[in-house]
Amino acid sequence: MYEECRNELRRVRTVFAERDTYGRAFLLFEEADVRLQQLSFLYQKVRECATEHLEVQRLWLAAYPHTREADGSDTIEVPAEEERKAAQLAFQVRLYTECFYLLAGRLRELIRKGELPIPGAKLFEAAGVRDVRNKLLQHPEGSDSRVFSQSIMFGPEHGPVLKPIRDQERSGVFLDAGLDVNAAELRDELLRLFAGVR
Protein backbone atom coordinates (compact mmCIF):
# COMPACT_ATOMS: atom_id res chain seq x y z
CA MET A 1 0.00 0.00 0.00
CA TYR A 2 2.84 2.42 0.72
CA GLU A 3 5.27 1.64 -2.10
CA GLU A 4 4.45 4.89 -3.91
CA CYS A 5 4.99 6.78 -0.63
CA ARG A 6 8.36 5.10 -0.17
CA ASN A 7 9.39 6.04 -3.71
CA GLU A 8 8.33 9.65 -3.15
CA LEU A 9 10.12 9.75 0.21
CA ARG A 10 13.33 8.56 -1.46
CA ARG A 11 12.90 11.23 -4.14
CA VAL A 12 12.44 13.91 -1.47
CA ARG A 13 15.47 12.63 0.42
CA THR A 14 17.53 12.89 -2.78
CA VAL A 15 16.39 16.47 -3.35
CA PHE A 16 17.61 17.48 0.09
CA ALA A 17 20.83 15.47 -0.27
CA GLU A 18 21.63 17.41 -3.44
CA ARG A 19 21.01 20.66 -1.59
CA ASP A 20 23.16 19.38 1.28
CA THR A 21 20.62 20.78 3.73
CA TYR A 22 19.75 17.88 5.90
CA GLY A 23 22.58 16.61 8.17
CA ARG A 24 21.00 14.42 10.84
CA ALA A 25 17.69 14.42 8.98
CA PHE A 26 19.21 11.66 6.82
CA LEU A 27 18.65 9.23 9.71
CA LEU A 28 15.10 10.44 10.15
CA PHE A 29 14.42 9.91 6.44
CA GLU A 30 15.72 6.37 6.92
CA GLU A 31 13.40 5.81 9.87
CA ALA A 32 10.44 7.14 7.89
CA ASP A 33 11.28 4.69 5.09
CA VAL A 34 11.49 1.79 7.56
CA ARG A 35 8.14 2.80 9.10
CA LEU A 36 6.52 2.86 5.65
CA GLN A 37 7.93 -0.59 4.91
CA GLN A 38 6.58 -1.88 8.23
CA LEU A 39 3.17 -0.34 7.59
CA SER A 40 2.98 -2.02 4.18
CA PHE A 41 3.85 -5.37 5.75
CA LEU A 42 1.32 -4.99 8.56
CA TYR A 43 -1.43 -3.84 6.22
CA GLN A 44 -0.85 -6.86 3.99
CA LYS A 45 -0.87 -9.24 6.99
CA VAL A 46 -4.15 -7.74 8.21
CA ARG A 47 -5.69 -8.25 4.78
CA GLU A 48 -4.48 -11.85 4.57
CA CYS A 49 -5.65 -12.83 8.06
CA ALA A 50 -9.01 -11.05 7.74
CA THR A 51 -9.67 -12.66 4.36
CA GLU A 52 -8.80 -16.10 5.72
CA HIS A 53 -11.01 -15.53 8.78
CA LEU A 54 -13.97 -14.53 6.62
CA GLU A 55 -13.39 -17.58 4.40
CA VAL A 56 -13.34 -19.86 7.43
CA GLN A 57 -16.66 -18.42 8.59
CA ARG A 58 -18.14 -18.78 5.10
CA LEU A 59 -17.10 -22.43 5.07
CA TRP A 60 -18.71 -22.95 8.47
CA LEU A 61 -22.06 -21.86 7.10
CA ALA A 62 -21.81 -24.45 4.34
CA ALA A 63 -20.26 -27.29 6.32
CA TYR A 64 -21.75 -27.28 9.82
CA PRO A 65 -25.31 -27.48 11.10
CA HIS A 66 -26.85 -24.27 12.33
CA THR A 67 -30.12 -23.34 13.90
CA ARG A 68 -32.06 -20.09 13.78
CA GLU A 69 -32.70 -18.65 17.23
CA ALA A 70 -35.89 -16.85 18.24
CA ASP A 71 -34.09 -13.50 18.01
CA GLY A 72 -33.13 -14.21 14.39
CA SER A 73 -29.49 -15.03 15.05
CA ASP A 74 -27.86 -18.25 13.88
CA THR A 75 -26.06 -20.70 16.13
CA ILE A 76 -23.48 -22.85 14.36
CA GLU A 77 -22.06 -26.00 15.89
CA VAL A 78 -18.37 -25.77 15.01
CA PRO A 79 -15.65 -28.21 16.13
CA ALA A 80 -13.31 -26.78 18.80
CA GLU A 81 -10.30 -26.96 16.48
CA GLU A 82 -12.08 -24.80 13.90
CA GLU A 83 -13.07 -22.30 16.59
CA ARG A 84 -9.44 -22.09 17.75
CA LYS A 85 -8.30 -21.44 14.18
CA ALA A 86 -10.81 -18.61 13.78
CA ALA A 87 -9.87 -17.17 17.18
CA GLN A 88 -6.18 -17.21 16.23
CA LEU A 89 -6.89 -15.42 12.97
CA ALA A 90 -8.99 -12.80 14.77
CA PHE A 91 -6.16 -12.34 17.29
CA GLN A 92 -3.70 -11.78 14.43
CA VAL A 93 -6.01 -9.27 12.75
CA ARG A 94 -6.21 -7.28 16.00
CA LEU A 95 -2.47 -7.53 16.69
CA TYR A 96 -1.43 -6.42 13.21
CA THR A 97 -4.07 -3.67 13.16
CA GLU A 98 -3.01 -2.24 16.51
CA CYS A 99 0.67 -2.44 15.54
CA PHE A 100 -0.17 -0.61 12.33
CA TYR A 101 -1.71 2.29 14.25
CA LEU A 102 1.16 2.49 16.73
CA LEU A 103 3.79 2.61 13.97
CA ALA A 104 1.69 4.97 11.86
CA GLY A 105 1.47 7.21 14.93
CA ARG A 106 5.25 7.19 15.18
CA LEU A 107 5.57 8.11 11.49
CA ARG A 108 3.06 10.93 11.94
CA GLU A 109 4.99 12.23 14.95
CA LEU A 110 8.32 11.94 13.14
CA ILE A 111 7.01 14.11 10.30
CA ARG A 112 5.21 16.65 12.48
CA LYS A 113 8.19 17.30 14.76
CA GLY A 114 9.66 19.36 11.93
CA GLU A 115 13.14 17.83 11.90
CA LEU A 116 12.66 16.57 8.37
CA PRO A 117 13.29 19.54 6.05
CA ILE A 118 9.98 19.14 4.22
CA PRO A 119 7.87 22.27 3.68
CA GLY A 120 4.58 21.95 5.53
CA ALA A 121 5.70 18.97 7.61
CA LYS A 122 4.63 20.56 10.89
CA LEU A 123 1.09 20.86 9.51
CA PHE A 124 0.95 17.24 8.34
CA GLU A 125 -2.09 15.39 9.66
CA ALA A 126 -3.73 12.00 9.32
CA ALA A 127 -6.70 12.36 11.65
CA GLY A 128 -7.95 8.77 11.44
CA VAL A 129 -4.59 7.32 12.44
CA ARG A 130 -4.15 9.98 15.11
CA ASP A 131 -7.54 9.41 16.73
CA VAL A 132 -7.40 5.62 16.74
CA ARG A 133 -3.87 5.59 18.13
CA ASN A 134 -4.37 8.33 20.72
CA LYS A 135 -7.97 7.88 21.83
CA LEU A 136 -8.64 4.17 21.35
CA LEU A 137 -5.24 2.54 21.91
CA GLN A 138 -2.79 4.70 23.87
CA HIS A 139 -5.04 6.84 26.08
CA PRO A 140 -8.55 5.35 26.31
CA GLU A 141 -8.67 6.41 29.96
CA GLY A 142 -8.66 10.08 28.95
CA SER A 143 -11.76 12.07 29.84
CA ASP A 144 -12.49 12.75 26.16
CA SER A 145 -12.37 9.05 25.25
CA ARG A 146 -13.28 6.54 28.00
CA VAL A 147 -13.75 3.82 25.34
CA PHE A 148 -12.51 0.65 27.02
CA SER A 149 -14.23 -2.00 24.91
CA GLN A 150 -11.90 -4.53 23.33
CA SER A 151 -14.28 -5.32 20.48
CA ILE A 152 -13.19 -5.57 16.87
CA MET A 153 -15.21 -5.89 13.70
CA PHE A 154 -13.89 -6.56 10.25
CA GLY A 155 -15.22 -7.10 6.80
CA PRO A 156 -14.28 -6.31 3.22
CA GLU A 157 -15.85 -2.82 3.17
CA HIS A 158 -13.64 -0.91 5.64
CA GLY A 159 -11.13 -3.37 7.03
CA PRO A 160 -10.84 -3.88 10.79
CA VAL A 161 -12.70 -1.41 13.00
CA LEU A 162 -11.43 -1.17 16.58
CA LYS A 163 -13.80 -0.83 19.54
CA PRO A 164 -17.07 -0.57 17.61
CA ILE A 165 -19.12 -2.00 20.50
CA ARG A 166 -19.46 0.39 23.44
CA ASP A 167 -21.89 1.49 26.07
CA GLN A 168 -24.59 3.95 25.05
CA GLU A 169 -22.84 6.89 26.71
CA ARG A 170 -19.74 6.49 24.49
CA SER A 171 -21.53 5.44 21.29
CA GLY A 172 -20.44 8.47 19.23
CA VAL A 173 -16.98 9.06 20.69
CA PHE A 174 -13.97 8.62 18.35
CA LEU A 175 -15.53 6.15 15.99
CA ASP A 176 -12.94 4.23 13.97
CA ALA A 177 -13.68 4.49 10.23
CA GLY A 178 -11.72 1.28 9.65
CA LEU A 179 -8.16 0.43 8.76
CA ASP A 180 -8.70 0.66 5.00
CA VAL A 181 -10.06 4.20 5.27
CA ASN A 182 -7.43 5.38 7.75
CA ALA A 183 -4.51 3.75 5.91
CA ALA A 184 -5.64 5.35 2.63
CA GLU A 185 -5.95 8.75 4.32
CA LEU A 186 -2.39 8.41 5.65
CA ARG A 187 -1.11 7.43 2.20
CA ASP A 188 -2.91 10.30 0.48
CA GLU A 189 -1.70 12.89 3.00
CA LEU A 190 1.89 11.65 2.69
CA LEU A 191 1.75 11.86 -1.10
CA ARG A 192 0.31 15.38 -0.87
CA LEU A 193 3.12 16.42 1.48
CA PHE A 194 5.86 14.88 -0.67
CA ALA A 195 4.42 16.39 -3.86
CA GLY A 196 5.23 19.85 -2.49
CA VAL A 197 8.97 19.14 -2.71
CA ARG A 198 10.51 19.81 -6.11
- Domains of the chain by residue range: 3-195
The chain-wide mean pLDDT, for the chain, equals: 90
pLDDT in tens, 152-195: 998 788 999 999 988 887 777 788 999 999 999 999 999 999 99
Kindly report whether the global pTM for this prediction surpasses the value 0.85: yes
Q: Computed from CA positions of residues 118, 124, 128, 133, in that sequence, does the dihedral angle turn out positive or negative?
A: positive
Q: Note the pLDDT tens digit of each residue in 50-107.
A: 999 999 888 887 888 878 888 888 788 888 898 999 999 999 999 999 999 999 999 9
Confirm if 113 and 138 have CB atoms less than 8 A apart. no
